[in-house]
A and B are shown apart, each in its own frame.
Chain A
Amino acid sequence: QKEVEQNSGPLSVPEGAIASLNCTYSDRGSQSFFWYRQYSGKSPELIMSIYSNGDKEDGRFTAQLNKASQYVSLLIRDSQPSDSATYLCAVNPGYSTLTFGKGTMLLVSP
């Protein structure tokens, strides 16, 4: 059974702080890793993808992958109230469809 685990939150951070979102996965052969942002009532939006160990930065977002520990994280620097959303971690083993975690709700207070 492929599993992707996330803390459901909510994770509360003040405006301007760093938000750290974490995800673990069970399928050691997984190849592709994604973070989606979903505002309430809206569809998921892909914000980061990562395929190899290490860090990948895009603006205020940094994705980190550690395949040995089966761990992927998303850091959001200078958090803004508009970042308040549910963040879904998704993992693709390369031979099947995406497996989603249950999502972490992030609340950024002004």
Chain B
Amino acid sequence: DTEVTQTPKHLVMGMTNKKSLKCEQHMGHRAMYWYKQKAKKPPELMFVYSYEKLSINESVPSRFSPECPNSSLLNLHLHALQPEDSALYLCASSQDHSTGRGGYTFGSGTRLTVV
């Protein structure tokens, strides 16, 4: 069983819909991440939340909006997405963002399809 839980596992949404992806980690980690992964490509970093501070990849469109209610929860709000946003969305957590030790633990992902 993964210690990073993502819901839902699959999501189909229209371009006018608003939906949210949820992620919860039970590892006491201080950093959490959202990644987007297209087929046959490596994960691409979208957002980092570390020590209550959000860092944004400036290439990510504003139709993606992260929210961190507390240190163990990280949500991703989706609005007015495009078909090219269809991908596997991965949440990850790590003990400490700055030292790099321990690696990242990934959740099982949300397979998003935009129609």
Give the B-binding residues of A (Cβ under 8 A): 31-32, 34, 36, 41-46, 49, 51, 88, 90, 92-95, 97-98, 100-103
Chain A residue nearest in CB terms to B55: A97
Hey, which chain A residues are within 8 Å of B98, CB to CB? 94-95
Whether a CB of chain A sits under 8 angstroms from the CB of B66 is: no
Of A43, A44, A88, A94, the residue contacting B100 (CB under 8 A) is: A94
Hey, which chain A residues are within 8 Å of B100, CB to CB? 31-32, 92-95, 98
List 16 contacting pairs A-B, 8 Å CB cutoff, sorted by A. Answer: A31-B99, A42-B108, A43-B2, A43-B106, A43-B108, A43-B109, A45-B106, A46-B103, A46-B104, A90-B103, A92-B103, A94-B99, A97-B48, A102-B41, A102-B42, A103-B42
Of A45, A49, A88, the residue contacting B42 (CB under 8 A) is: A88
Of A42, A51, A101, the residue contacting B109 (CB under 8 A) is: A42
Total residue contacts A-B, CB cutoff 8 A: 56
Bin the interface of chain B by size.
20 to 34
Classify the secondary structure of A's interface with B: loop
Closest CB pairs A-B (n = 9): A92-B100, A100-B42, A32-B100, A43-B106, A43-B109, A34-B103, A94-B100, A46-B103, A44-B106
Q: Separation in Å of the A102 CB from the closest CB of chain B?
A: 5
Q: How far is the CA of A41 from the CA of B33 in the complex (A)?
A: 19
Flag if A100 contacts B43 (CB, 8 Å).
yes
Give the A-binding residues of B (Cβ under 8 A): 2, 33, 41-43, 45, 48, 88, 90, 97-109, 111
Of A31, A43, A93, the residue contacting B107 (CB under 8 A) is: A43
Q: How far is the CA of A109 from the CA of B10 in the complex (A)?
A: 31
Q: Separation in Å of the A43 CB from the closest CB of chain B?
A: 4
Q: Separation in Å of the A98 CB from the closest CB of chain B?
A: 6
Chain B residue nearest in CB terms to A89: B42
Hey, which chain B residues are within 8 Å of A100, CB to CB? 42-43
Hey, which chain B residues are within 8 Å of A31, CB to CB? 99-100
Flag if B106 contacts A49 (CB, 8 Å).
no
